[in-house]
Chains A and B, each alone.
Chain A
Amino acid sequence: MKSKLLAATGVVAVAAAALTGCSTGAGAESCTNKILQPEATQVSVWAWYPAFEQVVDLFNKTHDEVQICWTNAGQGNDEYTKFSTAIESGSGAPDVIMLESEVLSSFSIRDALVDLSEYGAGDVKDDYSEGAWKDVSSGDAVYAIPVDGGPMGMLYRQDILDQYGIPVPTTWDEFAAAAQALKDAGAPGVLADFPTNGRAYNQALFAQVGSTPFVYDNAKPTEVGIKVNDQPAKDVLAYWEKLAADGLVGTEDAFTADYNTKLVDGSYAIYIAAAWGPGYLGGLSDADADAVWRAAPVPQWDPANPVQINWGGSTFAVTSQAKDPEAAATVAKEVFGTEEAWKIGIEEAALFPLWKPILESDYFRDLEYPFFGGQQINKDVFLEAASGYTGFTFSPFQNYAYDQLTEELYAMVQGEKDSSKALDDLQASLEKYATEQGFTLK
């Protein structure tokens, strides 16, 4: 193991050197895309959107003075790991980076992001909803430009529900009844999955009843409020604990090859998903050819007062290592700031736009999705879900918080502790961590 580990370290070192070479070399940068104006200022960008190369080409074609040099440095945590290392070493970060809104605080606290309010972020503020803007800003400071969102809906297999005569659930009570009915009917699969590594997904479910796990303000970076074991979170988790204990939902890890197959082969009749979920489903192989997918609003606890939730969503931030923050800010503001770019984003990458000119357009509202048999899923589900979103506060150590959440949820479905104790333990471990990290608990 040791010698191979050393060899692997060597490979990492070479890869790191290659990456550094990309972002610091002036003339001979190794971009994934073609640079059309070699004389123009080059801005390096890390992003993992599908079909992003077309968006980059469009930007470079329409901008003479700034050119994007794009690299896919990995998805989510893979990219954050590289970015985090680059921050620590003081070099190697790109000028502009794609970050999910949930990690912005984790990086802004390390002084890794440029405050864009000095670079004209205010000019584009009106292009985004209040909730979306709240996610990227703190007081007057703006740490990123919103790109796509993750309003949640319920994707379901019409054919499976029809086969067992189960109505489409609109509340969580109906959802539980449907899960029981499906099991009683002897269906081979279950109604849905409750992944213990759902991270932001699990947190969004808690938030629907009003759980506010964190209070944090970048203006007072050493203070953090933690309340992950509030009553709403406990109520929601107790609900899933019972479903899982009765065998009515699966408890498989999400985003594994097994899970992906089960999503599309009929093992789960319902996939509670964000707006990017349809794109995710469409990209999976081994799909059941006869599957009939439809979208509906996410189930509610209190149908009289529906609450919309959000899972994921990403932004473009300018890093503090940017050589030319002005040019970098231009890229962050404008790369997804045209209808042409968004048509690629929507049709090729299945992104849910936060940019209002396209979000509120008839084109987007009336778009028919072949995957859903021509259903206008934006009009039916996601636009309303998005309009109700008011923003969400994450902790400045979100990755740690999610890892701990996963451990506690796993212990719960293993039967080691009940849902209430799992959340209390989570609270205790996060409080301890925050204190060790020098935060004052509010």
Chain B
Amino acid sequence: MTSHTMEAAATPAVRSPRDAPPRPGGGARLVRRRQRWGWLFVAPFAIVFVIFLVLPLGYAFGMSLFTSTLATGTEFTGVANYAKAFTDPLFLEGMLRVLAYAVVMIPAQLLVALVAALVLDTLATRVSKLSRLLIFVPYAIPVVIGALMWSFLYSPRFGPAATIFSLVGLDAPNFLAADSVFGSLVNIVTWQWAGYYMIVIYAALRSIDPSIYEAARIDGANGWQTSTRIKLPMISSSMVMVITFALIGTLQFFTEPVVLRSVAQGAIDAAYTPNMYAFSLAFSYSQFNYASAIAFSLGALVFAGSTVFLFLTRKQSGLK
């Protein structure tokens, strides 16, 4: 039983619209009328989308083509800001840093979410409902509040680490030092997002037809084999979606380091992530033009990164 046939069997509903019969001939007017209705229904969204996303994006892109310095005025410099961005060590270091975060943080979140979802899927007791809720709760806490909370937990003075480590006669590690802040941030994000991804994966698991498990049991598969050979392949499209979300979120890493920066200014500098760099440039150093260029460069890299990822996983996600 290969994963491919399983997938095909499990998702017939997705494929069927392609096989829909062609529209009856001479319905051009009908199509046009339908399209008119379509536009009407889309309009509320489209207007907001254009005013609050497309226009600001256009404005920011226009800004990024000019250079404005403190001492001299503003002048049109075309793509000079982009050339500068891709040779700017601060931007490139920030980019490498978020890539490092992606490599560590995404698997960490995914592992926690996957294990929790698989365990909860096999349990059917009241405890499992409660655990599901508890694992999801961190996601319901606003990011800023969550990060603030953790900054107090990490605090050498207010945090519990000092008390816990003193029980065994050790000095507590400083979670906010330059070499440990990476792990501290990974921990915050994993704590906050694993529950959300767990719910997505869990929902996918619940949509699998239980008769497949029955067949597997008859074929002699044990619990581990059912999980790894049947459940995992069948939810691969959800996994691809979760990883894509996580990838985009991680490359745009911003809120958590900004909050921790207020208690660890040395360890987290103003250009820690590309998004933070763009923010400081614009709002602390008044370089709005260069900040726009940085933001667009980041956007382009995120777009390229997620496109490559979706291309590589087109088989698993069913997008091919």
Q: A residues near B, CB below 8 A?
A: 1-2, 4-5, 8, 77, 81, 84-85, 87-88, 109-110, 196-197, 221-222, 253, 256-258, 261-262, 396-397, 399-400, 403, 406-407, 409-411, 413-414, 436-440
Contact = CB atoms under 8 A, between A and B. Distances in A.
A20 B280 CA distance: 22
B266 A437 contact: no
Given A2-B249, A2-B252, A261 B157 contact: yes
Residue among B69, B270, B286 having the largest count of chain A Cβ atoms under 10 Å: B286
Nearest to B254: A5
Contact of A253 (B189, B250, B263, B288): B263
Interface in B182-200: 189, 193
Interface in B269-319: 269-270, 280, 283-286, 288
B286 A88 contact: yes
Contacts of B265: 196-197, 253, 406, 410
Contacts of B252: 1-2, 5
A319 B250 CA distance: 39
Given A197-B266, A257-B155, A257-B158, A1 B249 contact: yes
Contacts of B69: 436-438
A196 B176 CA distance: 14
Summarize B's interface: helix, strand, loop or mixed.
Answer: loop
Given A258-B263, A406-B266, 18 more contacts: A1-B254, A2-B245, A2-B249, A4-B255, A8-B143, A88-B286, A88-B288, A109-B70, A110-B286, A253-B264, A253-B266, A256-B262, A258-B156, A261-B157, A400-B284, A403-B270, A414-B266, A437-B70
Contacts of A256: 262-263
Q: Which 5 A-B pairs have the closest CB atoms?
A: A410-B266, A438-B71, A1-B249, A438-B69, A438-B72
B248 interface: yes
B203 to A, nearest CB: 17
A81 B270 CA distance: 14
A397 B252 CA distance: 27
A258 B262 CA distance: 11
B70 A4 contact: no
Contacts of A257: 152, 155, 157-158, 263
Given A196-B265, A414-B178, A81 B284 contact: yes
Interface of B: 69-72, 142-144, 152, 155-158, 178, 189, 193, 245, 248-250, 252-256, 262-267, 269-270, 280, 283-286, 288
B212 to A, nearest CB: 33
A202 B255 CA distance: 29
Contact of A407 (B70, B158, B266, B280): B266
Contacts of A262: 157
A141 to B, nearest CB: 17
A407 B269 contact: yes
A171 to B, nearest CB: 29
A1 B255 contact: yes
Contacts of A1: 143, 189, 193, 249-250, 252-256
A411 B265 CA distance: 11
B156 A403 contact: no
A406 B266 CA distance: 7
Contacts of B256: 1
A318 to B, nearest CB: 20
Contacts of B152: 257
Nearest to A260: B157
Nearest to B157: A258
A1 B250 CA distance: 8
Central interface residue in B69, B256, B266, B270, by most chain A CB within 10 Å: B266
20 contacts: A1-B250, A1-B253, A2-B252, A5-B252, A88-B286, A88-B288, A109-B70, A110-B70, A196-B266, A221-B71, A253-B264, A253-B265, A258-B158, A396-B70, A397-B70, A400-B285, A409-B266, A411-B266, A438-B69, A439-B71
B263 A85 contact: no
B45 to A, nearest CB: 15
A113 B143 CA distance: 37
A8 B146 CA distance: 14
B189 to A, nearest CB: 8
A200 to B, nearest CB: 14
Contacts of A406: 265-266
Contact of B284 (A110, A399, A414): A399
Nearest to A414: B178
Contacts of B285: 397, 399-400
Nearest to B288: A88
Contact of B248 (A2, A221, A400): A2
